Amino acid sequence: VLLAAPEPSGPVRLVRPSVYYKFADPRLEALPAGQKVLIRMGPGNERRVKPWLRAFLRATERR
C-alpha cells in the first residue's frame, strides 16, 4: 500500500478545518493513512523511504 502512494507533481495544499490538517484535494484525503504520511514527508524523503520499503518487503517475503 505504501509503495503505491501517488507522487504529486507539484505543491500539495493542506487545509485546517479544525485542529488537524487535511488535504485540500479530496482524492489525496481519501488515500490510506500511510500513503498520506509519505506525501506529507515531501518528495525528497519519500524517495529515500520507498527503496527501504521495497527492501523490507523483499526481506519479509522470503520468510
Query: What angle in degrees, to the nearest 10, is found between the helix axes of 43-61 and 33-40?
Result: 140
pLDDT, one tens digit per residue, over 12-57 is 888 887 878 899 999 999 999 999 999 999 999 999 999 999 999 9
Residue 61: the pLDDT is: 86
User: For residues 37 and 56, what is the distance between their CA atoms, to the nearest angstrom?
Assistant: 18
- pTM score, two decimals? 0.66
Give me 27's grid cell: 482524492
Backbone CA torsion sign across 20, 26, 32, 35:
negative
Q: How many CB atoms are located within 10 Å of the residue 5 CB?
A: 20
The domain ranges of the chain are: 2-61
